[in-house]
Amino acid sequence: MTKLSPKNRKIIQECIELLKRDDLKYQLKLFFEPIITMIFNVLNPYIYILLGVTVIIMLLLIIILALVVVIVRDKH
């Protein structure tokens, strides 16, 4: 990792102090809320598809385990 010069360290420290202000936090929240909402709306169908595929995989796993149990019981 590179060393920061005192000037850069001062700038970073001022940015951190600025981000601690409540009014700036509120303004950033207002700014990013529509962007995050738009991203979520775009990803929403894919989230449901992923959830559905996960449920199907879990059901198939349970069915396979049940078949293995049935096969093992029939052999004995």
Round to whole Å and give the CA distance between 19 and 26: 10
The label of the residue with tokens 């001022």 reads 14
**Model confidence over 41-71: pLDDT tens digits?**
999 999 999 999 999 999 999 999 999 999 9
Q: Do the Cβ atoms of 13 and 7 come closer than 8 Å?
A: no
Give me the residue spans of the domains in the chain: 6-75
Query: DSSP state, 20?
Result: T
Stated as kind and residue range, the H or E segment containing 29 is: helix 22-75
Mean pLDDT of the chain: 92
Q: CA-to-CA distance for 20 and 71, rounded, in angstroms?
A: 63
Mean pLDDT of 17-26: 90
Residue 37 has pLDDT above 70, yes or no: yes
Residue 30's pLDDT is: 94
Q: What percent of the chain has pLDDT over 70?
A: 96
pTM: 0.55
